[in-house]
Structure formats: structure tokens, C-alpha cells
Amino acid sequence: MGNAHLHSIHIHPVKAVRGLAPREAVVEPWGLAGDRRWVLIDDGGKVVTQRRQPRLALVAAELQPGGGVRLSAPGMPPLAVPVPRPCVTVPVEIFRDKVEAVPAEDEAAHAWVSSCLGSDARLVYMDDPATRRPLAPEYARPGETVSFADGFPLLLATTASLDALNSLIAQGEHAGEGPLPMNRFRPNVVVAGTSAWAEDDWSRIAVGEVPFRVAKPCGRCVVTTTDQGTGERGHEPLFSLGRHRRLGGKLVFGQNLVPLSRGTIRVGDQVRILE
């Protein structure tokens, strides 16, 4: 494992939309700085993701100074949205969790996302990730929290496991859909220089000088079948994962991470397997 290193970093300022690939990122207790602090909700307060709206794959978000975002999408004028003042919160339902978040102050932001999706939606911001959303208790240590990510602060994937999965896809009934790019899995950190599926056996790692615990494998959903360039859906990778990577009733690819300290990670950093 001496050659294991950080291949790429990915930050998604707005959950479910296109992200960024910086060369370095600050690790905070709840995830990478700027990652998934914004989210879209419907008129009932439920989070809107690519599970329901694959068109979100076509929306891009760039971080702005201070934590705001600049949104863009085909056929839409770009829109800059500043971080709102935390004077009013609204309830957000994200899977099993109920979270308070601050709505964007500019009504133009809500009009923009509603027009883009073709249904009523609002853009909201997690103002205090240190307190708003605790990790699921069955996987958490005291005080651990998470942003609007699905369930854990960071998601890790490896290039070797993607290569192995693409080999399985090439041998299957939907070979024409492969090979799939890594963006189907929307990870935060991608590690190169390992063997395929090596991450299944990790319990604690360090990226550069920042340690993480490996909380659990990541169960995958229909979002992985969504082409992130077109928003169109296919059968893979869920078909092949169902045949070859079914663990504990879930179709798994990648591992969920929880930071054990703050720090900065950089592309090229050595990845050490501590346990």
C-alpha cells in the first residue's frame, strides 16, 4: 500500500448538483469545507436530489467568497446567491433526519431553482453544521455531525475498484453502458495506488496528515445510474453491483469516512492505512 495516494478531491457546494475538483481542501469535522452546505427542498420541506430529479446533474454550482454559490444550468442565466443571515430557519427532511436550515434570502434563487426543475423548490443553507445534524447514532461517536451529505462527512472511492467494476460491467448484459466514470458515484476523495476493493478492509486511514475512521460501506442508489453529463438513466452500475457487490442487503461501492481531526488534504498526498 506504499503507493496509495490521493488522486482527486471533489466538493459539491449544493447537494445533488455538479461539483468542483480542487487541488486541495480543508477538512472540517462535518466534511470538506464548502461541501453540501446548500440543498434544494420541495414545498413539503423534503430534500430534492437526483433520485427524483435527474435533471440536477445538469446544474452546476461554484463556491463564492464567504460560502455563497453561483448557479448555472443550460438555458438559464447564472445566478449568484450569498449566504443568508441566520434569522429564520425552516424544517428540512433529509431521509430519516429532521434538520433546521436557513432559506436563501433572495426570492430570485427560489424562482431560479423552481424554473430549472419545473416544480416548486427552495434553496436552503446549513448555517451551523456543528450542531444541526448529528450522525446516525448507530455509527456515531459523541458530538459527530454531518452536512447535507447522505449520511457521513466524506465518501471515499478508489480507482482500482472502479476499474474492477467496469470489468464486471463489460462482461455483463449491459456492457454497452460502460465504462462508467467516477462521477457516477459522487465521492469526495478518490484514492489511487491500491488493489481493487482494498478499502473493504480499512477501519482507519490517514490522508496526508489528516486521520479518518472508516464508518461503513456506502450503499448505492439509482443516482449512480444517472449519466452526469446528460441526466439520462441506464441499468449500470446497479445491475453489476447487485450480482457482485451485495453486502448486508445493500449494493455497495466506496466507503464512508468520518474525520478524526481538522486539517488540509491535497491531491498527491500519501494515503496510509492505519488499521
pLDDT at res. 106? 87
- Whether the bond into 65 is cis, omega within 30 of 0: no
Low-confidence ranges of the chain (pLDDT < 50): none
CA distance 214 to 274: 11
Q: Which residues pair with 79 in a beta bridge?
A: 71
Answer yes or no: are the C-beta atoms of 16 and 124 closer than 8 Å.
no
Q: Which residues contact 36 (CB under 8 A, 6 or more apart)?
A: 12, 13, 14, 15, 147, 148, 149
pLDDT at res. 78? 97
Tens digit of pLDDT for each residue in 171-217? 999 999 999 999 999 999 999 999 999 999 999 999 999 999 999 99
pLDDT at res. 2? 72
pLDDT at res. 1? 59
CA distance 154 to 27: 9
CA distance 173 to 171: 7
Closest among 219, 60, 249 to 152, alpha carbons compared: 219
What's the pTM?
A: 0.96
Q: Which range marks the domain in which residue 235 is found?
A: 5-273
CATH number of the domain to which 149 belongs: 2.40.33.20
Local structure of residue 272 (DSSP, 8 states): E
Please tell me the total count of domains within the chain. Answer: 1
Tens digit of pLDDT for each residue in 91-113? 999 998 999 999 999 899 999 99
CA distance 217 to 83: 33
